[in-house]
C-alpha cells in the first residue's frame, strides 16, 4: 500500500504534552505530573498556566500580567523555588508554546 505524499509545510501540533520537572509550580502541579497544553496563544488570560520557551528551556508558569507591548509577565506558584519574570522580565507572546488544558488549574492566583 502506498501512502500519500505530503504537500506543504508540516503544521504545528494542536496539543503538546509535557512532564513537570521541579517544584516551581507546586502545590498546583507536582513533579512528575503529565500536563497537556493547547497550542493557541490568542486566548491567553491572567491566571492561565502556560508552557513557554526561555533561554532554550521550556518552562511552565502562571500568567500574572499581560501587556500588548511587552508580552506576558509570568510567575511560579511556589515563589521561593521559581525562576520567573521576577528574574528574567517579560516574555514575548511568540515564546508562549501553549496554555494548559489538563489538568485543569484554578486561575484565581
Which residues have C-beta within 8 Å of that of residue 13, sequence separation ≥ 6? 39
Matching residue, cell 521576577? 86
Residue pair 74/91 in contact by the 8 Å Cβ criterion: yes
Per-residue pLDDT tens over the stretch 11-67: 666 999 999 999 999 999 999 999 999 997 788 999 999 999 999 999 999 999 999
Q: What is the mean pLDDT of residues 75-83?
A: 96
DSSP label of 91: B
CATH topology of domain 15-102: Umud Fragment, subunit A (2.10.109)
Q: Please state the domain extents for the chain.
A: 15-102
Enter the pTM of the model. Answer: 0.82
Residue 108: per-residue pLDDT: 43
Amino acid at each position: 500500500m502506498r501512502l500519500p505524499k505530503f504537500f506543504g509545510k508540516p503544521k504545528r501540533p494542536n496539543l503538546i504534552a509535557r512532564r513537570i520537572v521541579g517544584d516551581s509550580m507546586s502545590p498546583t502541579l507536582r513533579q512528575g505530573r503529565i500536563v497537556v497544553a493547547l497550542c493557541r496563544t490568542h486566548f491567553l488570560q491572567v491566571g492561565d498556566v502556560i508552557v513557554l520557551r526561555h533561554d532554550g528551556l521550556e518552562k511552565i508558569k502562571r500568567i500574572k500580567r499581560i501587556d500588548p507591548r511587552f508580552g506576558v509577565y509570568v510567575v511560579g506558584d511556589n515563589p521561593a523555588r521559581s525562576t520567573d519574570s521576577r528574574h528574567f522580565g517579560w516574555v514575548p507572546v511568540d515564546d508562549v508554546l501553549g496554555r494548559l488544558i489538563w489538568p485543569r488549574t484554578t486561575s484565581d492566583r
